[in-house]
Amino acid sequence: MNRNLKGMAVGLVMAAGLVATAMSPSKVVYADENESGHIHEMEIIGAAESSCQIAGHAAYYHCADCGKYYKDEAGTTETTPEDENLPLKEHSYEWVVVKEATAKEEGLEQQVCTECQETGESRPIEKLAHAHRMESIPACESTCITHGNHVFYHCVECNQFFKDEAETIPTTLEGEKLPYGDHNYAWVVIKEPTQTEAGLETQMCAYCRHRGDTRRIPSLAPVQNNNDKKTTDNKSVKKNTAKNTDPTKDNPHASAKTGDNTNIFVWLVTMAACAGVTVMETVKKRNMN
């Protein structure tokens, strides 16, 4: 008898629950089997998708009465909002140009999230394609203090170097360097000969002052006239030396190239005429500072 009554009571409560469900779908009343007398007032917490900043979750339930959270509407599996969190979504990156490429310089683009503006990877943008504007760097002999070079070419638009004017063989300043050359010696009198004493002269490099061989100048005896040119005086030797260092001498490329006076490369190369690699390197260093 009692059992039947109890069963009827439970049936009534369940029926009430079903009625409540039918009347207001978001607020369902269920009996909590673990806590006698308490009937949950379930509110559904609707599912939300994760964004790249805020975690989403599947739908779960909250009882406004006891404050507990449940995975299911019937209140059988308890949970917490933290446990319901889904992983964050990946950023929706889009490549954004930070710096436009030019013919001379690479550009830069960076990943930016369209939702939260967070930045990701960055990568260079290739230099713009262009018709190379070539100037030739004149051939130049090495000295003991400067590197010479064969003729090579330079694009004033993109600063690339080429071995050939047809721009098929790329090169670098370093690659075009010829080894240092020999000293440029001239004989310099150290001690003038006299009637009674021999003099002395030495080889001296016009560029670096390095000394080479030393030899004796015969004394100014009566029999001194036999085609001996060594008695040149100090001053005239120095004059010859200066002539030898004239950089514009014998350079077929010196008067070269384009009439573009604003171009610092052409200007400097023309000024120094025979110092291709050396001058280009100087300009490069200056530009980098």
Binding residues (CB under 5 A) for Zn ion: these are 40, 52, 63, 65-66, 91, 113, 115-116, 118, 132, 144, 155, 157-158, 183, 205, 207-208, 210
Nearest approach, Cβ of 137 to Zn ion (angstroms)? 14
Report the alpha-carbon distance of residue 200 to residue 187 in Å, rounded: 10
Considering the complex, state which of residue 10 and residue 54 has its C-beta at the smaller distance from Zn ion: 54
193 beta partners: none
Q: What is the DSSP letter of 114?
A: T
Least distance in angstroms from the C-beta of 165 to Zn ion: 12
CA separation for the pair 206, 273 (Å, rounded): 18
CB of 102 to Zn ion, least distance (A): 11
For Zn ion, give the closer residue by CB, 37 or 252: 37
Question: Closest distance between Zn ion and the C-beta of residue 75, in Å?
Answer: 7
**Which DSSP string corresponds to 23-38?**
H-TTEEEEE-SSSTT-
Closer residue to Zn ion in complex, CB, 155/217: 155
Nearby residues of 156 by Cβ (< 8 Å), 6 or more positions away: 133, 134, 135, 260, 263, 265, 266
CB of 221 to Zn ion, least distance (A): 34
Closer residue to Zn ion (CB): 178 or 198:
178
C-beta of 20 vs 220, nearer to Zn ion: 20
User: Which one, of 65, 128, 123, 69, lies nearest residue 101 by Cα?
Assistant: 128
Q: Which is nearer to Zn ion, 210 or 253 (CB)?
A: 210
Quote the least distance from Cβ 37 to Zn ion, whole Å.
Answer: 11
Please report how close the Cβ of residue 32 comes to Zn ion at its closest, in angstroms.
6
| Integer Cα distance of 237 and 227 in angstroms | 17
| DSSP codes, 53-103 | SS--B--EEEETTT--EESSTTS-SEE-HHHHPPPPPPP-EEEEEEE---S
Helix (H) or strand (E) holding 171: strand 170-171
Contacts of 114 (CB under 8 A, 6+ apart): 92, 93, 94
**Choice between 27 and 210, CB closer to Zn ion:** 210
